[in-house]
Structures are given as structure tokens and as C-alpha cells.
Structure 1
Amino acid sequence: MGKHDNLGLIQVYTGNGKGKTTASLGLAFRASGHGFKVCMIQFMKKNNDYGEIKAAY
């Protein structure tokens, strides 16, 4: 193990169009499955009917 093995990673998905949430959730699920701690922050718009929020509960 190297001296930087305990450092976390930050990934930011930006841009117009679709795919950002899908990509970030996929990576978060994979990391969690391998025992890593995951924190996901998402900036939401006014609509409260988000499928990813429903799936998280």
C-alpha cells in the first residue's frame, strides 16, 4: 500500500443532457459494493419527483 491509499476521490459530473446521474450512481454502487464509503451530493431543481431519490429509500 502506498502513502496515498487513504485519500478519497472526488468526481464531478457536469454538462447538459442526460447520463450524469446514471454514471455517478453506477460508480457509487460499485464502490459501495467493494466496501468504500460513498457520499453523493446532487443539486436538485424545483420538481420533487425524482426516481433516484425514491430508489434510495
Structure 2
Amino acid sequence: MSAYIAQACTIVHKLIDAGHHISDDDLLLAITAGLPHFYDPFLVSIDTLSDSEYTLELIIP
């Protein structure tokens, strides 16, 4: 999982370096959308979070 997240972050940094704006929400969406189905319980649990709780620091410790 850490390699998957690191790869997504690397891609985001490359996009930012190329001049694109990538928000934390965009990164979280990309990471969670690419998870295998056995992470569905985790995805359901984060759906219960308020917008202020749905942060990179909480989802990716």
C-alpha cells in the first residue's frame, strides 16, 4: 500500500512541476478510486467523515 501511495504522490509532484494544479481532494480521489475491492469497508468508513475530517493527514497517516 505504501508503494501505491508513494507512486501516486510522485505522479502528483510531476504534474505540479509541469504547472498543473492538483488539490489534496484530487489526490485522495485518485488514490481511493484505484483501490482493490477488499478496501471497500475502508472506503465506506471514510464516507462517514465530514468534509473537514477528510484530509490527507487522516487518510494517509
Bucket of the pairwise TM-score, normalised by the shorter protein: 0.3 to 0.5
Structure that is richer in helix per residue: 2
TM-score by length of 2: 0.38
TM-score by length of 1: 0.39
Larger radius of gyration: 1
